[in-house]
Amino acid sequence: MSNKAIFLDRDDTLIEDPGYINHPDQVKLLDDVAEALIELKRMGYKLIVVSNQSAVAHGIVTEKVIGEIHNRLKQLLAEKGAFLDRIYYCPYHPEGAIPKYRKESDWRKPNPGMLLAAADEMDVDLSQSWSIGDSARDVEAGLRAGCKTILINRSSHHKQPDPCLLLAGTHPHYKSVNIKEAVNIIKKYHRSSGKPADQTQSAPAGQIQPLLQAVEQPRSSEPKEPAPSPPEKNAAGKRTEQLLSSILEQLKSMQRADMFGEFSIMRLMAGIMQIIVLFCLLITIWFLMSPSRQDNNLVFIALGFAMLFQLMSLTFYIMQGRK
């Protein structure tokens, strides 16, 4: 049996879009995103991000940093109990500054390449799937792939209306103000069409699937096995316990990686400068308290060096913040 999926845009659909995101620290989840993804997962949908990332072609960010940004996104979602099945992105743009990425691509929305690739790799029935995003490109890509579409059109949206929406055939099936309303639209669609959503019945079983996605273990498309009979419950419980243990280790390793990622040369240099400033101030106090005080110029020299090193320390801190 084929899977059904929700194809999600990334910026201004799942996370805030300050412009071109070029650092993991800039990743901020929008309100209600984690809760909405949990609801969609309970309805039996695969959750797949499909995102244009032309910043790579323009030389603003590298694919390595894109990977770090997506890892940060998955970590923020995991902290709230939500998980993505897979993330696809297109780094190409026909007017890119980097020759390697300067080209048109079937993966670049409004082309449906990413959706078609995901459908092929993950056995997705596109006719039972949805495309959710905040631009006409997301709508057109979903329509061309054969999905139902929802345009997120917040009243406070900073982007200008896309003229593509005026073209025939690019109008979305539905509109919403945020992803939470988009989930309600999908629920209403299931009720009106008589197609019940695949709601998860028990909490433990509902957690196994998302946890598998958190560590991105490859999954086969084999049909689901029937519920275990009573003699098999102990074995299933052991497997679940082992899985939870492996996920815990994975989260701990991610936290360790983030901790070591906080180190920077600029921060180290700023700390060294602060120590030198303190040393200069101590020398100044020593000169002032000296009984002889034969040369007050030494006091001013020590204070001058303290001010100089303090400015250097501030400079290093500012440079570290703009990394």
Q: Give yes or no for a contact between 72 and 37, defined as CB atoms under 8 angstroms apart.
A: no
Q: Catalytic residue, from 11, 17, 85, 138: name it.
A: 11
Which residue, among 165, 85, 166, 81, has the nearest Cα to 129 in the 3D structure?
85
Secondary structure percentages of the chain, helix, strand, coil, to 5: 50, 10, 35
Active site residue 11: yes
Active site residue 85: no
- Cα separations in angstroms, 102 against 62, 99, 232, 243: 14, 5, 55, 43
Which residue, among 92, 144, 148, has the nearest Cα to 116 in the 3D structure?
144
**254: helix, coil or strand?**
helix
Q: Judging by beta carbons within 10 Å of its beta carbon (0-12, 13-18, 19+), is residue 150 exposed, middle or buried?
A: buried
For the annotated catalytic residues, the residue numbers are 9, 11
